[in-house]
Structure 1
């Protein structure tokens, strides 16, 4: 019987709604799955055939430690998703990589820790004069933590927010607020082994004048949704571009592509979740079983082992 570690965190205890259905589905598929915290020093990771990242949601506050742990695991087991993808995807500078090769993304300006906050904000606002609202967020973050929506007349508050993040040696992202999300919401498209599984509508996470909803530990406004052909086409472009950028020789075990309708009505990428996304099994009956069947597939196991042998 193959053994799988479903990697979580102590801070996520009781908040990962995907964990119970996935444990049940793995058991039904003939897998021995166990939920374990990534920073538990008593765990011997080499005892697992596969180490599957699911909800290590405190990594954003401990990224160097988390990546060092992932490197250790990659030496002794099959880490999913693979290490080079995890390194890239845990910092949202990946959006610049995708935009540079023609993927439509929400326009993003990065402010690095040595920058002067108000000068950077002024340059950003000058570049987007028609944007009535904008978003400040850290480049390393999960969900909407430390993220806020501002009006143009709130530059002083936004500048303080930027300065606070930069003082913590964190890179900052500035984005025009895409107002279409307030009515339409985000579309999250979930893929297993490169195949589309299901789509969801996620309600707006940044209500005006309120603190950001603290995802990923809050389900928020999540409902099943049919993906549009244009959304499916863009998601597949994004996954293909990621495979080229990261030189992947096999489809990713899982991916969640979060899209917004842009001002022109065409979808654009908000975030590409390849490390620890919620997959919302409860909103898509049968999806946990499909994912567990992938993990149990001997061909998938052979592909992972071949990759480990070449490493």
Structure 2
């Protein structure tokens, strides 16, 4: 009898997987699967030896996106698929959601090709309140900062930071900081095999200006939470949109996992902050049976 072998792709910073994904590892092993962590850019790994490769704790991809996507394209049994990873690793996908009628945070998009001067960058920043600067390719608040429009030192730092990102060839997003993040937090809705599973409340991550990238992510405070009908409806639409994008390259195939992060707008209505189908933390420990459900969904792909 042949044993099913599944690799959970991870990175050098978490060779044994992040804590959340260790729940999935144990759930797969309980089902009799030979499940192992494997570092995605380890040249010694024979990916063809696995029945499936599931993308999980690959939290360094944003530092080497091209190499990561090149690797993903070489793994034919990868979940989620390389095509949807390529789409989702650039936050420009938010423009598609917005164009499709899903409310997102209003964003100013800057590109290196515009060759903007410091003054031109200054004129594009909000005149009042706090705002956020982030590159379109990043994860876990890496290279992201929160600034104060009316405070000269903070605004000056924001301008210099934006100019540097553009000089480095990176596209930049400028968004007004929503104060609801400090009060209500973010709602992270987790989907497994296309179906809503559970949601958590994520506390604020951006407490000040960019100070360099120490590690791969910033710590978050989380707790299980209920979701409103409006939140669920918006998240369902976002996941369905990603599903449709996946089916363009893989007809009939569903997303194994997804997470939609929502925030409240000024009117209290939900806005899409992010839709993540690459390597989102799925908060498996927050709902009993979530890890088991994901493990069973993985095995169902082999049926």
With the length of structure 2 as denominator, give the TM-score of the two structures.
Answer: 0.91
- Cα deviation for residue 281 of structure 1 reads 1.4
Match of 1:62 among 60, 64, 86: 64
Bigger drift between 217-226 and 267-276 goes to 217-226
Q: Are 2:224 and 2:286, in contact at CA under 8 Å, matched by a contact in 1?
A: yes
CA distance in 2, matches of 1:206, 1:72: 36
Aligned residue among 120, 129, 134 for 1:132: 129
Q: For 1:139-171, what per-residue CA distance to the aligned partner results, in whole angstroms no more than 9, with x for missing partners?
A: 111111111001113321101111221222111
Where 1:233 maps in the other structure, the secondary structure is helix
Partner residue in 1 for 2:163:
163
Deviation at 1:97, TM superposition (A): 1.3
**1:68-107 equivalence runs, <5 A:** 68-74=70-76, 78-107=77-106
Secondary structure, in 3 states, of the residue corresponding to 2:57? Answer: coil
Query: Is 1:265 the equivalent of 2:268?
Result: yes
Flag the 1:301–1:138 CA change in 2: closer, same or farther, 3 A.
Answer: same
> How many residues end up aligned between the 2 structures?
294
Structure 1 residue runs of 5 or longer lacking an equivalent are: 303-311
**Alpha-carbon distance in 2 for matches of 1:176, 1:36:** 39
1:36-51 correspondence runs (5 A): 36-51=38-53
Deviation at 1:249, TM superposition (A): 2.5
- Residues in 2 aligned to 1:216 and 1:235: alpha-carbon distance in whole angstroms: 26
Instruction: Tell me the SS of whatever aligns to 1:18.
Output: helix
Q: 1:209 to 1:171 in 2, by over 3 A?
A: closer
Equivalent residues of 1:117, 1:159 under 8 A apart: no
Instruction: Give the CA RMSD over aligned residues.
Output: 2.0
Q: Pick the structure with more helix per residue.
A: 1
SS at match of 1:12: coil
What's the counterpart of residue 308 of structure 1? none
The 1:255–1:215 alpha-carbon spacing in structure 2 relative to 1, beyond 3 Å, is farther
Structure 2 residues without counterparts, runs of 5 or longer? none
Query: Cα distance 1:45–1:15, how it changes in 2: closer, same or farther (>3 A)?
Result: closer
2:32 corresponding residue in structure 1: 30
2:282 alignment partner in structure 1: 279
Go from structure 1 to structure 2 and tell me whether the alpha carbon gap of 1:212 and 1:42 turns closer, same or farther (over 3 Å shift).
Answer: closer
TM-score by length of 1: 0.88
Task: Identify if the C-alpha distance between structure 1 residues 267 and 99 changes in structure 2 by more than 3 Å, giving closer, same or farther.
Answer: same
Counterpart contact for 2:9–2:53, Cα < 8 Å: yes
